[in-house]
Amino acid sequence: MMDIQKLLPFILRHENVAVIEHGILYITDRQSYPFEIRRVACSDASETADAIRRMVTQGGGPLEAALRAMVLTAMKKGKDRDAFDLAVRALAGARPTNTTMKRELEALLPDILMGFDQEDFVSYVDELVQSRLAHYDECYLAMARNGVRLVDDGDGILTTCFPEHSFFLTLALATEKGFSFRVFAPETRPFLQGARLTASGLAEMGYEHTLITDNMVSSFMSQGRIDKYMTASDLALRDRTVVNKIGTLGNAIAAKYYGIPYYPFAIGFDEGKKGISDIEIEYRDPGEVKMIRGVRTAPEGVSAEYPCFDIIPSSLVTGIVMPEGIVR
C-alpha cells in the first residue's frame, strides 16, 4: 500500500498524533499547535481519556490515542481483564458524539482477551493495534481515491473545522493529476481548528488556500468562488444523516441554496443508530464560547451555550465519500 504519511501534514502523521515512549503515552497537543509543539503525557487509559475529553486531540486523533492506550494498559496491567474493561469504558465515554472510537475499542477487546495465553502479551496487543492503524490508513486512502473523483481542475473547495486524513489525501491525489484548486477554510470558533490546524496544514503542504471567518461562507458562495463543499464527519447514519462540527449545518444549507454539492467523508455507518433521535450531541462548557485562546471575548456574567456538533439531514448531503465508494 502507498505510504500516506509523506502526503499528510505534520499534525496527522502517526508519530505526531500519539506515541508511547518509556511507558508513557504522549499525545501531541492540538490546542497549542502550530504556535507551540508540545506533548501531553498520559500514564494510563484514564489520563488518556481525560486528555481526549479536554480536546488535547480531536477528530481522528482520539481513536489513535485510544488504541495506543490499550497497548499502554497491556504494559502497565498485563493480563488483567478488569483493567481492559475499565480502559474501554473510560476511553469510549470521553467524546460521546463520535462513536467510531467506542465501536473500535469494543470490537478490539475480545481480540485482546484472546491473547491472554500469549507469552509476549504486550507485543501481541501492539501488533493488534498496529494492524488496526494500518487498516484505517487503507480506509483513508480508499476514501481519498473516491474523493478525488469529485474534484475538478480549478475548483474552489470549502471545508469546515479540521477535515483530517482523507481530505488532505484527496488534495494530494488531485495535485498528482495536475489539478489546481483553492481551499477555503473557516476559522472554526471557539477553538480555531480551521485556522490553526487546517490552514496551517494547507500552507505546510503548499496548497492554495484562503482562511476566512466563520460568517463569510455564504458571501463567498454568492460570489461563485466555491464549487464544492467537503468535510470530515464525526458520525454517519445509514439514512445518510451526518454529524460534524457545529457550523457545518449552516454551510450545508447555504450550499444547497447556491447549488453547491456537499460531500462529507465517513469511514462507515454507525449501524446502532437508526435516526436523529439516537444521536447524542456533546455540549461543552459554555465558558469556552466566551474565550479565544485564553483571551476573554465576553464578560463573566454573559450567558452562553456550546453544542459541539451539527446534525445535517440527508436532504442536504449530495453524497457520502466512503472507502467502498460514494454513497448518494
Helix (H, G, I), strand (E, B) or coil at 231: strand
Write out the three cell numbers for 104. Answer: 473500535
Q: Is the dihedral of CA 173, 62, 57, 279 positive or negative?
A: positive
Q: Could you tell me where the DSSP H helices lie in the chain?
A: 45-53, 61-77, 81-92, 100-114, 121-147, 164-176, 193, 200-205, 217-222, 248-257
Is 227 a known active-site residue? no
Nearest partner of 121 among 78, 85, 81, judged by Cα: 78
d(CA 261, CA 263): 7
> How many residues can be counted in the chain?
328
Q: Are 228 and 155 in contact (CB under 8 A)?
A: yes
Q: What whole-number distance in Å separates Cα of residue 234 and Cα of residue 236?
A: 7
The catalytic residue among 44, 155, 227, 234 is 234
Residue type, 157: I
* Distance, CA of 5 to CA of 169 (rounded, Å): 10
The residues annotated with a catalytic role in the active site are 234
